[in-house]
Structure 1
Amino acid sequence: MKILIIHAYFLDENDFGGSRMNELVKVLKNRGHDITVISSGINYSTGKSYSYVKKMFNNRKIYDSVDLIRVKISDSYNKSFLGRLKAYTEFTYKTTGKILSFKKQDVVITTSPPLFVGTPGLYAKRFKKSKWIFEVRDLWPEFAETTGVIKNKKILKYSYNYERKMYYKSDGVVVLTPAFKRDIISRYPKLENKIKVFTNAADFDSVYFDKEARERIRKKYNLKNKKVFIYTGAHGLANGLWQIIEVAKRIQDKKVVFMLVGDGMKKQELIDEAKRYDLKNILFIPPVSKKDIKDYISAADYGISVLIPNKSFEKIYPNKVFDYMSCERPILNIIKGQTAELIKKSKCGVTAEPGDIEDIINKIYDLLEKDEKENLGENGYNYVKKNFDRKIIMNNYVDYIESI
């Protein structure tokens, strides 16, 4: 089959960040499918353009035979919400124009956000007679509304109508958590049989505990006898890393160190705040490649999962949680809902109340105590190995694509 994937955040090989669609592409390729990916020219974790993106459309091969087309868009992506909206809009209309020049693709997969990436999928279905799968990684525009990013009622009304149209017009809807499915069905009951759940999962081939790397990284950053709490991922508005800065200011245990790995719109503000208070217990690490992230997680003693306090975020599974669990790291979770349920069921950590700094500090002490008595890291590893193995989930996803 000829399969086209439209994903604004698709990674280059060894990029830092969530690699769900990269793994899907590998499985599709190994099944013998002809794959083309259209993505933006911006590296979403840094907000900067890829160095080779010079023209409107930039073609290259990845994984030997997969065609990757990067679309040049505004470099204002990581500067403000309006800049991001401009970049999203550019990506949508340029991608829509591009697919109209293609020969028919058997299946087109568009993955949101950005929400309006559904448009090229709709055009592929209408004008190229392709089957179209609309994947929902985050519930937009709900997330934009509940975080206060979009307040204009007319824009919200248009966005919700657009979302509804994409669900009904597509041939299939894929969501990342059971809570997403429940949310959509509660609003559109007729979609129940159309929605499939293929969650984020643990990539045991790439992310695993590495003892040698642990010793090397801890020596590099002088972490001997420290209890290291690591966060990996975006440093944006929604990630709520101000909570970690506040904890670092107040916590009394001098052995506790926070390591924040990644980049994003709010990173410089976080660095400036740490400098203002002369915090010695927090390290800011630039983004590292996918193949190296296991080294830093292995060097840590605990993983941090955190977002701003928000009802919408109670419906997600952050991919970093599965990375921590596959490296056998106990978890300090600061997200309610689905993630908290996962931590509880797997018995791999503790959950603190989002936004409550004193509770987060108390839960850190609880975690340090529990970890001495219970095999929290081992519990997490065993649970994801049984229930969230990416190879199994991605192969099930491909089975669905082939059947649509």
Structure 2
Amino acid sequence: MKILVLSFNFQPDLCAGSFRSTALVKALQAKITSTDSIEVLTTTPNRYHSFSNQAPVFEQKNNLIIRRIPLPAHKNSIFGQIFAFIFYAKSVLRYTQKYEYTLIYASSSRLFTAFLGAIIARRKPTLLFLDIRDIFAEAVLEAFQNPVLKFFMKVFLVPILKIIEKFSVNTAQHLNLVSEAFADNFKYFKGNVSYFTNGIDEVFLAHNFEHIPQNQPQIITYAGNIGNGQGLEKIIPATAKALEGDYIFNIIGDGNTKTLLAEKLRLLNVKNVNLFKPVSQEKLIEFYQKSDFLFLHLNDAKAFEKVLPSKIFEYGASNKTIIAGVNGFARNFIEKNVANVILFKPCDSENLVRKLENYRSEEVNRSDFIEKFSRKILMDEMAKIILAMIHSPNIEKNVV
């Protein structure tokens, strides 16, 4: 048995896709025999150009092989990411021509990782398990602010993306959706569907966050991508300005709107926001420990009402008060599963300021949430499903 794992990002890269794929591979590796093998085709760390974390292009650990494809330099712009993925895809297609696989797992927030997996699966043919972490055809529109360009994308590009999406999904025998709200987009799929969400990494589970700082001014921390999906430039500057003297904002990360955020902070002469480059998970824990609140925000757009941000799980492990500007499925999920959260309307700084003014601090125990959403447990269950697919005599492979 040979399993191929396609994941554009893999540890030590810093992003949700990297952490998720790495945890799944560990779970699979623990369940296969010494005569079986897993091969990961990924890239050298590239998620943030401002964070350098070196990794070998080839690693072998018992029955696991990791091949990291070096990418040309890019600064995380839309076109830079497209160019980098094309380079990755060409390398993967060329390499996989020589080998046969029992099953392909493709982790896809980028639609084209799923498409890449589908092409290889039909060419062989091979079983395909797709892990869908975003609805790319919807989210891509929010990356463009120019009305003319956005109209062009909606009329010409999105229909093509939906055809690619349908081809990819219909090639798979099993679909995992990280958000149950994605289900409406894939009603046409005839195979098996599961809903393993994002989860809490062991590094956060191992840390004791019991101490609650009482900083003056109080510290609000955001860590993660700074892009169109997060819309931080629409909420942080005005909110921070209104809260000067009482709160400090620590913004940790990088992305294609960080420059815009910095410019808006400068125009409003905001003095209580600190911008930091991405840091390792271990360093991130230090920031979280010293914070009074952990901040989460999604842009106010219909495309983001179905997503379930991975930060919910990371923050939820800390027992810190979470401030979340989200709508749709993410809001419902938080209300149902996460205690001690200040919920506010996305991009509405006045609403957030009022919520903070009326908030009274409390200690909370999220042990039930932590137990339910441990990434290790979730990926262990997903690994069982993947291996059950391989041993099932009733699953048919798609061919070209």
Among 88, 91, 102, the alignment partner of 1:91 is 88
Deviation at 1:86, TM superposition (A): 2.0
332-341 vs 145-154, greater mean Cα deviation: 145-154
Q: Secondary structure at the match of 1:75?
A: coil
Residue 312 of structure 1 corresponds to which residue in structure 2?
303
The number of equivalent residue pairs is 376
CA distance in 2, matches of 1:113, 1:343: 21
Distance 2:69 2:51 in 1: 13
Q: What is the match of residue 169 of structure 2?
A: 167
CA distance in 1, matches of 2:322, 2:215: 20
Alpha-carbon distance in structure 2 between the residues aligned to 1:86 and 1:137: 21
Percent identity, aligned pairs only, is: 22
The answer to whether the 8 Å contact 1:99/1:120 transfers is no
Name the stretch that deviates more: 285-294 or 388-397. 285-294
Q: 1:48 to 1:386 in 2, by over 3 A?
A: closer
Distance 1:282 1:320, change over 3 A: same
Q: Which runs of 5+ in 2 are unaligned?
A: 390-400
Q: Per the alignment, do residues 320 and 268 of structure 1 end up closer, same or farther by CA in structure 2, a change over 3 Å counting?
A: same
Deviation at 1:47, TM superposition (A): 6.6
Aligned to 1:2: 2
Separation of aligned partners in 2, 1:289 and 1:48 = 9
Q: Is the 8 A contact 1:59 1:67 kept in 2?
A: yes
Matches within 5 A, 1:3-152: 3-12=3-12, 15-18=13-16, 19-32=19-32, 34-46=37-49, 58-61=57-60, 66-78=64-76, 80-101=77-98, 103-148=99-144, 151-152=152-153
Q: CA deviation at 1:147?
A: 4.8
Q: Distance in 2 between matches of 1:297 and 1:335?
A: 21
In the TM superposition, residue 173 of structure 1 has moved relative to its aligned partner by 1.3
Q: SS state of the match for residue 292, structure 1?
A: helix
| More relative contact order, 1 or 2 (CA 8 Å, 6+ apart) | 2
Change (3 A) 1:147 1:229: same
Partner of 1:398: 383
TM-score of the superposed pair, with normalisation by structure 2: 0.85
Q: Is 1:347–2:336 an aligned residue pair?
A: no
Letter in 2 for 1:69: R
* Correspondences of 1:215-254 after superposition (within 5 Å): 224-242=215-233, 243-251=235-243, 254=245
Question: Which runs of no fewer than 5 residues in structure 1 stay unpaired?
Answer: none
Q: Distance in 2 between matches of 1:343 and 1:122?
A: 34
2:354 aligns to what SS in structure 1? Answer: helix
* CA distance, structure 2, for counterparts of residue 31 and residue 207 of structure 1: 23
In 2, Cα distance between equivalents of 1:99 and 1:239: 36
1:166 maps to a residue whose letter is S
Asked if 1 retains the 8 angstrom alpha-carbon contact of 2:50 and 2:278, the reply is: no
The question of whether the paired residues in 1 share the 8 Å contact of 2:122 and 2:171 is answered with: no
Task: Give 1:332 shift.
Answer: 0.7
Q: Secondary structure at the match of 1:43?
A: coil
Residue type of the alignment partner of 1:229? I
Choose 126-135 or 136-145, whichever is displaced more. 126-135
Distance 1:385 1:207, change over 3 A: closer
Distance change in 2, residues 1:204/1:330 (3 Å): farther
Contact 1:260 1:285 survives alignment (8 Å): yes
Q: Displacement of 1:37 after TM fit? A: 1.2
User: Closer, same or farther in 2 for the Cα pair 1:209/1:257, shift >3 Å?
Assistant: farther
276-285 vs 356-365, which moves further: 276-285
Question: Equivalent residues in 2 for 1:318-329 (5 A)?
Answer: 318-329=309-320
User: What displacement does 1:276 show?
Assistant: 4.4
**Residues 286, 148 of structure 1: alpha-carbon distance in 2 compared, 3 angstrom cutoff:** closer
